[in-house]
Amino acid sequence: DGGITQSPKYLFRKEGQNVTLSCEQNLNHDAMYWYRQDPGQGLRLIYYSQIVNDFQKGDIAEGYSVSREKKESFPLTVTSAQKNPTAFYLCASKYGTGSTMCEKLFFGSGTQLSVL
Amino acid sequence: QQQVKQSPQSLIVQKGGISIINCAYENTAFDYFPWYQQFPGKGPALLIAIRPDVSEKKEGRFTISFNKSAKQFSLHIMDSQPGDSATYFCAASKTTAGNKLTFGGGTRVLVKP
């Protein structure tokens, strides 16, 4: 099955700890995104990458870091600098530009991060 | 600054009724307006989308109405079913800017049987 796999489904972070959320896609999509969702709120963009080895900050990048070493993988690290990390994190991907299908975002099932 | 405002935050409708969700945007450069549907514990999925060159788009029981001059667009769910109970997000983007979607705050819809 083609799709986006996020792991783990639930994650707990201790004070001062960095944690990494995994996102893997086998859709051969060029662009990948990380969103944060808080209860009753919309999705806010953390980071995005349009091509391997390149990524840009979104609206709320502080306290987060990413890498894009492979086309299919876009891990997100929540650092200790992120003081309010409890949220539902969603990874998404889409085709690159030049395609009529390029606008549709495909989402993973999310990772719920909580602070111990 | 919230560029896409969505209302209402929640909505209860009887089975067979019409659900209406409204969104307003500020950036006149936006040229793509999708709606996403999200079930609890899952990621959102694209439901329907519209571009500003048309005023309405219909797919099954779901219709987007678009008013470019008012910078507003809405989702109508006709003959609402209990299986439509979900959170709906409107969004907007400028396709020349890497298609970074800006999402509304979401509307939780509950369809009562």
Q: What is the 3-state secondary structure (H, E, C) of chain A?
A: CCCEEEECCEEEECCCCCEEEEEEECCCCCEEEEEEECCCCCEEEEEEEEECCEEEECCCCCCEEECCCECCECCEEECCCCCCCCEEEEEEEECCCCCCCCCCCEECCCEEEEEC
Per-residue pLDDT at A11 exceeds 80: yes
How many angstroms separate the CA of residue B9 from the nearest CA in chain A?
Answer: 8
Confidence bin at B16 (pLDDT 50/70/90): very high
Taking residues B64-80, report their average pLDDT: 96
Residues in CB range of A84: below 8 A, 6 or more apart: none
Categorize the per-residue pLDDT at A103 as very low, low, confident or very high, splitting at 50, 70 and 90. confident
Chain B residue with the nearest C-alpha to that of A30: B98
Higher pLDDT, B86 or B53: B86
pLDDT band at A97 (very low <50, low <70, confident <90, very high): low
pLDDT digits (tens, 9 = 90+) for A63-83: 999 999 999 999 999 999 998
Residue A107 has pLDDT above 80, yes or no: yes
Q: Nearest chain B Cα to A50, which residue?
A: B98
pLDDT more than 90, % of chain A? 75
Q: Tell whether A71 is within 8 A of chain B (Cβ).
A: no
**Structure confidence at residue B84 (pLDDT):** 97
Is there a contact between B106 and A41 if contact means CB atoms under 8 Å apart? yes
| pLDDT confidence of residue B5 | 94
The per-residue pLDDT of chain B, averaged, comes to: 93
C-alpha distance from residue B80 to each of B5, B62, B89, B90, B105 (Å): 23, 10, 17, 18, 21
- Mean of pLDDT values over B2-25: 95
pLDDT of residue A95: 82
Question: Is pLDDT of A100 > 60?
Answer: no
What's the whole-number average pLDDT of chain A? 91
Q: Determine, for residues B99 and A43 on separate chains, whether the beta-carbon distance falls below 8 Å.
A: no
Out of A4, A43, A102, closest to residue B103 by CB: A43
What's the rounded mean pLDDT across residues B17-37?
Answer: 95
| The predicted structure's pLDDT at residue B75 | 98
B42–A contact, CB cutoff 8 A: yes
The pLDDT, as a whole number, for residue A42 is 87
